[in-house]
Amino acid sequence: MGRITLNKVVKRFGEVEVIPPLDLTIEDGEFTVFVGPSGCGKSTLLRLIAGLEDVSSGDITIDGTPATDLPPAKRGLAMVFQSYALYPHMSVRKNIAFPMKMAGLSQEEQEARIKKAADALNLTDYLDRRPGQLSGGQRQRVAIGRAIVREPSAFLFDEPLSNLDAALRVGMRLEISELHERLKTTMIYVTHDQVEAMTMADKIVVLRAGHIEQVGSPLELYRNPRNLFVAGFIGSPKMNLIPGAPAAKHDATHIGIRPEHFRIVESGGTFTGKVIVSEHLGSDTFFHVDVEGVEEAVTIRAGGEVGLRHGDKIHIEPEEGQIHRFDAQGLRIA
Amino acid sequence: MATQHSRSAARFMMAPAVILLLGWMLVPLTMTLYFSFKSYLPLRGGDLGWTGFDNYVRFVTSSAFWPSVITTLVIVGGVLVITVCLGILLAMLLDQPMWGQGIVRILVIAPFFVMPTVSALVWKNMFMDPTNGLLSHLWRFFGAEPVAWLSEVPTTSIVMIVSWQWLPFATLILLTAIQSLDSEQLEAAEMDGAPHLSRFFYIILPHLARAITIVVLIQTIFLLSIFAEIFVTTGGAFGTRTLTYLIYQRVLESQNVGLGSAGGVYAIILANIVAIFLMRIVGKNMDA
Ligand SMILES: Nc1ncnc2c1ncn2[C@@H]1O[C@H](COP(=O)(O)OP(=O)(O)OP(=O)(O)O)[C@@H](O)[C@H]1O
Ligand SMILES: [Mg+2]
């Protein structure tokens, strides 16, 4: 129930090939996150799976049945949109009931499912309000409620939290994760947000210009990025990618070291430089360091109590075994 | 920078326009009110003095009054139904991406730029003429007896002509409303399993509700006073006499200015009732 396979799927808008031939399998019950820079085709891919866009070639299989030519309604998938896409002239109750009404469910069944969804999502008090009278977070919950009651074989989310403020986002993130734990239904989730991707995903798909750069669990991607792009994309703050002489010492074109994998040492150290900016977050401090022999500023993470300031001299040393090496093609050297 | 000085300067500058507008409205209004309380027969003795509410009573008790009210309602109602229904269809059609969209849109709007008198004459002579009209040629082509539109089905004919004129207005307003519909809502409904017809009735139509009300109210105000279309086609004969036309006949054909003015005051009251509804709804639109 809910295994989705894409086989050589291509999508063109006119002349422009937005998705070049792409293969991907999403296992049943998996929480898959699509990440990638803006315009890389995440939404398009999701809409292809949903059936809101037609594939130019290739095929899509859902639960073992060919779904390439099925209309969206027949695919058994539910989608939560970034704009929530609630029906503004219907009450929350009617919004949630709409897919069931379209499916011709009995009145009692509808009531029962609405009640269950409303309880699960804390919407019971708002059932008779219109979407316009709800806050962003509540609207998002209604949209999720409308998706749940259909009991779909998979949920599709397109940046569902991007319209919410930071605090609410954390809350909703937990709620969606919890929902996934409870329902064990396949979920595909598109996001820009590093933290959402790392914390929620069973599997992350990193896309660039419609290509899959790497697929894997969050930690796999963090520990073993397959190429420079993934290395730079996963992790926050970004991995430091250093070309030139320091990389040549490791027989590589680029070396990558994450900010959290640097130690500050009294003297010596592999790199020496001057602090340009220090960002104190309380728990951590990020130093942007102008290192001799390295063009771009190097970011390092240190404890919250380290008190270096602009212009201070600093010696840093990468931790053993935490240096990622990349060759001239940008691929990881094992 | 609304200082005392600039405000009074602004008032001073606006004064001519305001005075002109006020005069424009107030003079005819006062004159109508003035004459409606007089017995004033220009060709039969002129001003015969005050008569109180006589004219008002006579206007509504005349045998022509109720039929003219009914004709007005039929014409206004008929035009509203046709323009709103066809307007929605056309708007949805024009919203689809298609070849030559710009030109088609201009063509659809074109009838609105034709003066009522002209369009009525064109319809009367080129389409509805029983011997030479295009419609009668069409009827004959299919072997049917041509219809003498303006004498056999005069009200329907006028409804057709006026609908043709007002369809562009309805289409334009409804088109902008349709274009403002969030496409994600339609996609959500599609995912929710709503077929085309359900999407129309559950999503598109409710979204258009406000635009439809506005079309209905604005058109009502203007349709209550249609005149040229009747004047050049049937001349008020064959039961096509509307309230406006009745007023015209009272004043110019029976030369009874007082009686006509009383009718005019009724028309003003009616139009204002509609206008108040319109302001309310437009105002609500602004709030939301
Ligand atoms: N209907 C369309 N017609 C033509 N090009 C389109 C259409 N929809 C999307 N595109 C193009 O396809 C590419 C991928 O778009 P898509 O919306 O999938 O990006 P995305 O990864 O979701 O970006 P974001 O993170 O900004 O939402 C973009 O370059 C976009 O310009
Ligand atoms: Mg997107």
Mean pLDDT, chain A, whole residue set: 90
Q: How many Å apart are CA B106 and CA B113, to the nearest integer?
A: 11
Q: Which bound ligand lies closest to the C-alpha atom of A34? A: 1
Instruction: Tell whether ligand 1 has an atom less than 6 A from the beta carbon of residue A37.
Output: no
**Are B189 and A78 an interchain contact pair (Cβ–Cβ within 8 Å)?**
no
pLDDT above 60: residue B286: no
Question: Between vectors from CA A328 to CA A323 and to CA A330, what angle results, nearest 5°?
Answer: 65
Main-chain phi, psi angles of A327, to 5 degrees: -90, -175
Q: A43, A53, A81, A191: which to mutate for ligand 1, most atoms within 8 A of CB?
A: A43
Residue B141: domain span: 4-287
Helix (H, G, I), strand (E, B) or coil at A285: strand
Q: What percent of chain B has pLDDT over 90?
A: 16
Instruction: Tell whether ligand 1 has an atom less than 6 A from the beta carbon of residue A11.
Output: no
Q: How many CB atoms lie within 10 A of CB B75?
A: 23
Q: Which bound ligand lies closest to the C-alpha atom of A19? A: 1
Q: For the domain made up of A237-326, give the CATH fold.
A: OB fold (Dihydrolipoamide Acetyltransferase, E2P) (2.40.50)
Q: How many Å apart are CA B240 and CA B132, to the nearest integer?
A: 23
Question: How is residue A131 written in tokens?
Answer: 């979407």
Band of pLDDT at residue B78, cut at 50, 70 and 90:
very high
**Are B191 and A102 an interchain contact pair (Cβ–Cβ within 8 Å)?**
no
Tens digit of pLDDT for each residue in B48-70? 778 878 788 888 888 888 888 88
**Are B191 and A73 an interchain contact pair (Cβ–Cβ within 8 Å)?**
yes
Residue, of A198 and B135, whose pLDDT is higher: A198
At B132 the pLDDT is: 82
Residue, of B99 and B89, whose pLDDT is higher: B89
Is the CB of residue B36 less than 8 Å from the CB of residue B258?
Answer: yes
pLDDT above 90: residue B247: no
pLDDT above 80: residue B236: no
Instruction: State the CATH architecture for A4-229.
Output: 3-Layer(aba) Sandwich (3.40)
> Which residue bears the tokens 């986002």?
A169
Helix (H, G, I), strand (E, B) or coil at A302: strand
Tens digit of pLDDT for each residue in A17-31? 999 999 999 999 999
Q: What is the mean pLDDT of residues B131-153?
A: 81
Interface contacts (A, B; CB < 8 Å) = 62
- Among the partner residues B185, B187, B193, nearest to A87 by beta-carbon distance: B185
At A1 the pLDDT is: 67
Q: How many Å apart are CA A121 and CA A142, to the nearest integer?
A: 8
Tens digit of pLDDT for each residue in A27-45? 999 999 999 999 899 999 9
Atom of ligand 1 nearest to the CA of A41: 18
Q: A17, A35, A44, A52: which to mutate for ligand 1, most atoms within 8 A of CB?
A: A44
Q: How many Å apart are CA B35 and CA B265, to the nearest integer?
A: 10
Exposure string (b/e) for A270-305, b if CB count within 10 Å is 16 or more? bbbbebeebeeeeeebbbbbbbeebeeebbbbbeee
Q: Walk across the sheet containing A31-35 and list its strands.
A: A77-80, A154-158, A186-190, A31-35, A203-208, A211-216
The interface predicted TM-score (ipTM) is 0.82
Contacts of B184 (CB under 8 A, 6+ apart): A81, A82, A83, A85
Q: What is the mean pLDDT of residues B22-39?
A: 87
At B1 the pLDDT is: 55
- Among the partner residues A72, A82, A87, nearest to B190 by beta-carbon distance: A72
Q: How many CB atoms lie within 10 A of CB A214?
A: 21
Q: How many Å apart are CA A153 and CA B168, to the nearest integer?
A: 47
At A201 the pLDDT is: 93
B113 touches chain A (CB under 8 A): no
Q: How many Å apart are CA A295 and CA A314, to the nearest integer?
A: 16
Q: What is the mean pLDDT of residues B176-188?
A: 90
At B285 the pLDDT is: 58
Cβ-based burial of A20 (10 A; exposed 0-12, middle 13-18, buried ≥19)? middle
> Which residue bears the tokens 């008190």?
A307
Q: In total, how many domains does chain B have?
A: 1
Tens digit of pLDDT for each residue in A266-306? 888 888 999 999 998 888 999 999 988 888 899 999 888 88
Q: What percent of chain B has pLDDT over 70?
A: 97
Contacts of B180 (CB under 8 A, 6+ apart): none
Which CATH number covers residue B12?
1.10.3720.10
> Which of A158-162, A316-320, B142-146 is predicted with the least confidence, judged by mean pLDDT?
B142-146
Question: How is residue B1 written in tokens?
Answer: 């920078």
Pairing of strands A271-280, A313-318: antiparallel
B181 touches chain A (CB under 8 A): no
Look at ligand 1, atom 25, and give the residue with the nearest C-alpha: A38
User: How many residues make up chain A in this entry?
Assistant: 334
Atom of ligand 1 nearest to the CA of A210: 14
- State which residue of chain B sits closest to A81, comparing Cα positions: B184
- B219-223 contacts, C-beta under 8 A, 24 or more apart: B219/B76, B219/B79, B219/B80, B219/B83, B219/B166, B219/B169, B219/B170, B220/B76, B220/B80, B220/B274, B221/B271, B221/B274, B221/B275, B221/B278, B222/B166, B223/B75, B223/B76, B223/B79, B223/B80, B223/B162, B223/B166
> Which of A232-241, B102-111, B174-183 is predicted with the least confidence, judged by mean pLDDT?
B102-111
- Among the partner residues A73, A88, A132, nearest to B190 by beta-carbon distance: A73
Q: Is B256 left (phi over 0), alpha (psi -120 to 50) or beta?
A: beta
- State which residue of chain A sits closest to B199, comparing Cα positions: A102
Q: How many Å apart are CA A75 and CA A153, to the nearest integer?
A: 9
At B2 the pLDDT is: 65
The domain segmentation of chain A, as residue ranges, is: 4-229, 237-326
Of B127, B144, B225, B211, the C-alpha closest to B177 is B211
Q: What is the mean pLDDT of residues A40-54?
A: 92
At B288 the pLDDT is: 47
Is the CB of residue B52 less than 8 Å from the CB of residue B258?
Answer: no
Q: Which of A81, A100, A144, A156 to mutate to test the interface with B (most CBs of B within 10 A)?
A: A81
Give B207's contacts in chain A (Cβ within 8 Å).
Answer: 88-89
Q: How many Å apart are CA B227 and CA B209, to the nearest integer?
A: 29
Query: How many angstroms does the Cα of residue A58 sit away from the middle of ligand 1?
Result: 19
Helix (H, G, I), strand (E, B) or coil at B130: coil
Check whether the bond before A99 is cis (ω within 30° of 0): no
**Are A81 and B194 an interchain contact pair (Cβ–Cβ within 8 Å)?**
no
At A217 the pLDDT is: 94
pLDDT above 60: residue B287: no
- Among the partner residues A72, A88, A132, nearest to B191 by beta-carbon distance: A72
Q: Which A positions 49-108 lie with beta carbon below 8 A of chain B?
A: 50-52, 71-73, 77-79, 81-83, 85-90, 98-99, 102-103
Look at ligand 1, atom 30, and give the residue with the nearest C-alpha: A39
